[in-house]
Amino acid sequence: MPVDTKVVIVGGGIAGIKAAIELQKKGIRYTILEAKDRLGGRLHTVEGKNGKYDMGASWFHETLKNPLFDEEVGLSKELNFYFNDAPVKYIDRDGEIDPMLGIDPIMEEIYKFSELESYRDLDEDDSLYNVVLKYLRERKNILSDEQILKASQRAREVELWHGTETKCTSNKYAAVDNCGRNAMALHYDKVLKRHTDELDLANVKLQAVVKSICRVDKGRRVVVTTTAGDEFEADYAIVSVPQSILQLEEGSEGHIEFNPPLPLTIIDSLKKMHYGALGKVVLEFDEVFWPTDCERFSVLASPPSGFLQAIKTGSEIPDYAHADKPKTWEHPVLFVNMATTQKIPSLVVLTQSPLTDYLESNPEYAWEYLRPMVLKLANAEQVPEPINVLVSPWTQDPYQRGSYTACHPGDDPLQSIIAFETGFGNVRFAGEHTILDGTGCVMGAWCSGTREATYIINHVAG
């Protein structure tokens, strides 16, 4: 016999957890089905040798309008976050970049050029990569050779926001315009525990992989079935799995079959959205041997051979030589200096796809790849070996398959968000991919859980 409940929540990330908490406050029965052996989704804090690290979400973004951040500030007896927004040191394979080179104002001009290009033809959407090339070619006569080379790589910094290369990043949606400062959590396990402590854990089923969601009784009821054959019947379902799981083809591990099929509004919107892969590598050392006068090191890639000549002559832009594995200096990375933020001898490195995919599938290669960059930021000829290396798992996790929503050229996030907010009758959707404010962020997922719980509460009351 199916387990009978009022609401089945598919996915135990922060969106599903928040929905459950709000339902519980109103006495509405629920069951959370989570595919992994833990709750939290990309809220995942691990213990290293020097301390704790958030391998997924790390920051409270947009703190001027972040209700989760406001709640944390109001509830915590101590500040469980750190504003690590001091000036960044920029480094490439030649060493630290001289601020007097004037790259910052050039970057401001590139961002404005990108914005103007996005408005020039609202029906067209090129990649940010192509737009930056257009800027460099148009302005080459008033830029020095070094400015062209450095600015071309500074423009790739946004890859460490979106989790995708600029070649794959929509110019229209590339701009990162946060409302307020970004606060680094210390750590998200405290936020997660505060929430899970509110749950009735008897209503949580771990390692429960959902294979189908069926609307029955003329759409009045929902039957959710797991790969183990367990059935859960309810009046409502809240589907809070990652967007990447909804995009899986039939036969893929984690694929969920909907019967009847999802409406075309959702199916079509999923064809116009992509998924990024922001990854992390933690390097732990016995002692600090790098500068402690900055909180972040932005390590830039080197342009491919012949890049400058191609910009000047208008010829085809060369690419990096293809190899079996990515080479150091082909991708920008961001080093978060834990010696300043947490007083421990560790560096946390942010990476993007396709580098993330490779390092997560080959974690033993991480130090070899990053070592030349550590040499440069430490301004040293030799550095000690790390005592421990931790690598995030997201692209290798069959129930995650990346990090969060990303926009390729031509994608339409607004269409997708409207489709998910509308839902499918009593099958509702929550998660960072279903909301406009806070897309890609913990806050967005959290708010979407509240939204869907409120929808059900109002309909039950009505």
CB within 8 Å of 177: residues ≥ 6 apart: none
- % of the chain surpassing 90 pLDDT: 92
In tens, the pLDDT along 223-275 reads 999 999 999 999 999 999 999 999 999 999 999 999 999 999 999 999 999 99
| Predicted local confidence at residue 264, as pLDDT | 97
In tens, the pLDDT along 349-361 reads 999 999 999 999 9
Q: What is the DSSP letter of 397?
A: -
pTM over 0.85: yes
| Predicted local confidence at residue 87, as pLDDT | 84
Position 54 in a domain? no
Q: Give the 3-state DSSP-derived string for 30-91, with helices as H, strands as E and coil as C.
A: EEEECCCCCCECCCCEEECCCCEEECCCCEECCCCCCHHHHHHHHHCCCCCEECCCCCCEEE
Q: pLDDT-based confidence at 121, cuts 50/70/90?
A: confident
Q: Provide the token pair at 329.
A: 């200096």
Q: Do 101 and 161 belong together in one domain?
A: yes
Beta pairing, strands 45-47 & 274-275: unpaired
Pick the last residue of a domain from 379, 396, 413: 396
How far is the C-alpha of 456 from the C-alpha of 327, rounded, in Å? 50
pLDDT at 323 over 90: no
Q: Do 145 and 196 belong together in one domain?
A: no
Mean per-residue pLDDT of the chain:
96
CATH number where 224 lies: 3.50.50.60
Position 442 in a domain? yes
| Predicted local confidence at residue 324, as pLDDT | 80
Position 333 in a domain? yes
| Predicted local confidence at residue 250, as pLDDT | 95
In tens, the pLDDT along 7-44 reads 999 999 999 999 999 999 999 999 999 999 999 999 99
Q: pLDDT-based confidence at 462, cuts 50/70/90?
A: low
How far is the C-alpha of 137 from the C-alpha of 145, rounded, in Å? 12
In tens, the pLDDT along 71-120 reads 999 987 778 898 988 889 999 999 999 999 999 999 999 999 999 999 88
| Predicted local confidence at residue 178, as pLDDT | 78
Which is more confident, 451 or 179?
Answer: 451
pLDDT at 408 over 70: yes
Per-residue pLDDT, averaged over 145-162, amounts to 97
How far is the C-alpha of 437 from the C-alpha of 55, rounded, in Å? 23
For residue 223, what are the domain limits? 3-43+185-274+404-461
Beta pairing, strands 236-239 & 427-429: parallel
Position 427 in a domain? yes
Q: Do 270 and 281 belong together in one domain?
A: no
Pick the last residue of a domain from 370, 396, 422: 396
